[in-house]
Structure 1
Amino acid sequence: MKITFLGHACLSIEIADCTILVDPFITGNEKAKGIVDIQELNPNYILLTHAHQDHILDVESIAKRVNATIVSNYEIAMHYQAKGFLVHPMNHGGNWIFDFGKVKYTNAIHTSSFPDGTYGGQPGGFIIEANGKTIYIAGDTALTMDMKLIPMQYNLDLAVLPIGDNFTMGIEDAVIAADFLSCKNVLGYHFDTFGFIEINHEQAIERFKVGGKELHLLDIGGSLEI
């Protein structure tokens, strides 16, 4: 399983011959310009954690071009189905076996609305099991005791956690989240995109190291294999 960081909270996940795109916010991200070209992205599936603009901006242009299936909560899925897109609706605690592996839609503590203010359902995250590996993508969330439930069922190979603070967990809470998840291998995301969520990289990596964990902070376009 190859995970590529495309900036902010956007990930590309390659599982065998299938590509999954998570929360595509690329054309609006100044830091991704000149690095990521959405015309070169060809996902089979697009997973959306919630409806905020910095997570859905490029969904329609990408999904229309490649006929990707949009996977998200019921409200978001119905929003895109009404526009003619292929969708797979889910809700919290639900699992589905796709052709690439198994996905569970998990709880997250955040808000969710489309750019025009309409309701975007409740936010969530995803657990993906494929090819003997398991990853947890938290989505935008606060630290929550619900995370303690995950290692009761899953042995995570990687936890993808927001670390930028202000709108989500910050570094200190993310370290605790990794403890709750019983996962020492963490990929940080949702940081540095704009002023509210800028972090000190060296301090963040050291804080996780002190806690007995490894924090990966990838450059945009950088990849991690598990």
Structure 2
Amino acid sequence: MKITYYGHSALLVESESCKVIFDPFLSGNPNSGISPDEITVDAVLLTHAHSDHFGDALAIAARNQCPIFAVYELAEYCRSKGAEVKHMNIGGSHTYGGFTVKYTQAIHSSSIAEGDSWIYGGEAAGILLTTDAKTLFHSGDTALFSDMRLIGERNHIDLAALPIGDMLTMGPDDALLAAGWLRADKVIPLHYNTFPAIAQDGDDFCNRLRQEGITGFPLKPGESVDI
């Protein structure tokens, strides 16, 4: 499994069986370094509806003629815009092509801005992606919550992608605890340094992970890791 980071919370995952992208906030992201037109995938996976995660989901799905996986209300919104969708919800799993996704709890809000109005985007979620006998957990935007222990107990997580930006999600201290609760051997920090309000030191966070026996990957946009 190869994971490429495109800034903020966008991850491209490639395996022998599939190619998917999480939360493709690319064209509006000053750090992504890639155009949505350069993305070729089998599916788009969304953790929630906020624009810095929803991003270019509709354009990528249309160009690739592939489905968008999202919590029911967000999936319905995407369907209303002409996208093929897979309706998911918390606790549910679905196998499609060469991968399986399972949606988990996250503690965050979720909405879509249209003009002066806000549309409810369903609950925010984390996503367990399993392909070629490897499992990645993308926690989405979330606070620390105690059931991360349960997620770690019930799943063998090869790599966890966790927000560290603070202010809008958990910060480094809580993310460090989350990594231990999830029993993840490897961690990619997400959702930091995109904007001044969420400035963090990814290298320092990964050094702290190392002290706990966890390998951290403070990837720069465009960099990859194989697990």
Distance, in Å, in 1 between the alignment partners of 2:126 and 2:105 is: 6
Number of matched pairs: 224
For structure 1, which runs of at least 5 residues remain unmatched after alignment? none
Q: How does 1:212-223 map to 2 (within 5 A)?
A: 212-223=213-224
Fraction of identical pairs, as percent: 40
Q: Aligned partner of 2:151: which letter?
A: I
Counterpart Cα distance in 1 of 2:4 and 2:111: 26
Moved more, 3-12 or 56-65: 56-65
Provide the TM-score with structure 2 as the length reference: 0.95
- What does the per-residue CA deviation read over 1:115-170, in whole Å, with 9 as the maximum and x for residues that have no partner? 23110000001111111111111000000111111122211110111111111111
2:20 corresponds to 1:20: yes
**Equivalent-residue separation in structure 1 for 2:206 and 2:129 (angstroms):** 25
Which residue of structure 1 aligns with residue 158 of structure 2? 157
Partner of 1:141: 142
Q: Structure 2 CA distance, aligned partners of 1:162 and 1:19?
A: 22
Using the size of structure 1 for normalisation, the TM-score is 0.95
Aligned to 1:50: 48
Q: Structure 2: state its 5+ residue gaps.
A: none
Across the aligned residues of Structure 1 and Structure 2, the Cα RMSD in angstroms comes to: 1.2
Distance 1:57 1:102 in 2: 23
Q: 1:217 to 1:24 in 2, by over 3 A?
A: same
Correspondences of 1:1-226 after superposition (within 5 Å): 1-32=1-32, 35-116=33-114, 117-226=118-227
Do 2:17 and 2:131's aligned partners in 1 also have CA atoms closer than 8 Å?
no
Q: Deviations over 1:76-122 (max 9, x none)?
A: 11111122210001100001111112210000000000023110000
